[in-house]
Structure 1
Amino acid sequence: MARVVAVDDAADPRLADFRDLARADRRPDRPGGRGLVLAEGTVVVRRLLASPYPPRALLGVARRIEDLAPDLRGADVPADLTAYVTDADTMAHVVGFHLNRGVLASADRAPSPEPAALLAGARRVALLEGVNDHENLGALFRNAAALGVDAVLVGTGCADPLYRRSVRVSMGHVLRVPFAACGLGPAVTALRHAGFTLAALTPGGDPSALAALASHERLALVLGAEGPGLSDEALAAADVRVRIPMADDVDSLNVATAAAVAFHATGVPR
């Protein structure tokens, strides 16, 4: 059972994991800083507590900590985990803004798997290139969790999946979908060795080819950023180029939306 400790001083050094979240140069979840994982809201905190990411501490108002009591009694929760209870005003002073969801949890990052290990038991994966918007990335991971994608390879130019905004938008599912950061070349090599067909989603692709991909035993969907799309290198590495059939006067979808459509169209029945 985690310890519950009341705090009323926003300057309490024990709350350092949650301090100054509005300051880009001080955020504890930035890759160049302390690199912590931050979960926001009871649903996302529950998913963090059930994830491979080792929890460090919680901070929240009494009602939200009480909501999480069954999870904090879990057998896998570290014995020294502390939940700090405070009021909304003190929490706002610590965080740097008023937090509507009323609770945060911090965790250390888990070791990233090697691409080959990540792909070993996978049948459907996503390979991302240049997806640099945190909200799009979080939404894409939520879609991946919902629609049976086994793993994500996060390629060059992508945002950090464990940035607080990505974690929040994913509703914590970025903490359960296995992923690894990997350059395009090594990712393609690993996918080839594992027997995957690579399908690039691009406005210049074949709109009739998407449905046929559902029959492939192992499939990697390659997705790029909105605007520039996939690089020439990524397009050249693909076995097939596909597009989602849509109205003639619309050439593309938001990347997270496009991913959801493609995941559903090519998914393996569960």
Structure 2
Amino acid sequence: MIAEGVLVVQRMLASRFHPHALLGTDRRLTELKDDLAGSAVPFYRTSADVMARVVGFHLNRGVLAAARRVGEPSVAEVIAGARTVAVLEGVNDHENLGSIFRNAAGLGVDAVVFGSGCADPLYRRAVRVSMGHALLVPYARATCWPAELMTLKENGFRLLAMTRTSRRARWPRR
């Protein structure tokens, strides 16, 4: 997984995802000096031109961090103690998903649950657009979709839905 930019790298350093290396320009690595103090994460300095050639694009914001993925929690784990949960189905665009995470963090959403057809929240573009919040807001993938919606109801959550179609499913009131 890749984090781009000082703020996103700072959020990665504060998350459960631990970078195994950073590549950046002098200016951007200097901005991260305090964040990297005492850290064992190796960092490599380079020029903006060399960095663009190495990573394959110029819009890299001057610093990149690479981290390995770690196991994802279950739906039960991410909703435990949560008051507000965003449930997503079919959000297959990485930038849209990143934007949802950014807004979820801003609105105080405690967790995100993915249903079927959702993009990867740890894809580079999703992490960048989320400003790193995809690394901080807890999330889980529902393995039994849509049955796990009932798990939310059974745990006291009220289900509200938005859709662009005139078709809708009615959930029985309990």
Q: TM-score normalized by structure 2?
A: 0.91
**Higher strand fraction: Structure 1 or Structure 2?**
1
Kept in 2, the 8 Å contact 1:138–1:165? The answer is yes
> Is the CA contact 1:39–1:104 (under 8 Å) kept in the aligned structure 2?
yes
Equivalent position amino acid for 1:196 in 2: F
> Where do 1:186-265 residues align within 5 Å?
186-202=147-163, 235-237=169-171
Give every structure 1 segment of 4 or more consecutive aligned residues whose post-TM-superposition deviation is greater than 6 Å: none
Larger Rg: 1
1:221 aligns to what? Answer: none
**Which amino acid in 2 is paired with 1:71?**
D
Partner Cα distance (1:194, 1:152) in 2: 15
Higher relative contact order (CA 8 A, sep 6+): 2
Summarize deviations over 1:40-69 as a string: whole Å, max 9, x none. 000100000111102110001111111101
Unaligned runs of 5+ in 2: none
CA distance in 1, matches of 2:16, 2:130: 16
SS in 2 for 1:136: helix
Task: Return the match for 2:56 from 79, 86, 96.
Answer: 96
Give the counterpart of 2:30 among 42, 66, 79: 66
Structure 1 vs Structure 2 CA RMSD: 1.9
Q: Amino acid of the residue matched to residue 171 of structure 1?
A: M
Q: CA deviation at 1:192?
A: 2.2
After superposition, give the CA deviation of every residue in 1:9-46 in whole Å (9 maximum; x if it has no partner): xxxxxxxxxxxxxxxxxxxxxxxxxxxx2100001000
CA drift at 1:185:
2.5
Rate the CA distance shift 1:195–1:55 in 2: closer, same or farther, 3 A: same
DSSP 3-state at the match of 1:201? coil
Contact kept in structure 1, 2:83 and 2:110, CA below 8 Å? yes
Question: Could you tell me how far 1:120 is from its partner in structure 2?
Answer: 1.1
Listed as ranges, the matches of 1:1-270 within 5 Å are 37-74=1-38, 77=39, 79=40, 81-183=41-143, 184-202=145-163, 235-237=169-171
What runs of 5+ residues in structure 1 fail to find an aligned partner?
1-36, 204-228, 240-270
Q: Is residue 153–residue 187 contact of structure 1 (8 Å, CA) maintained in 2? A: no
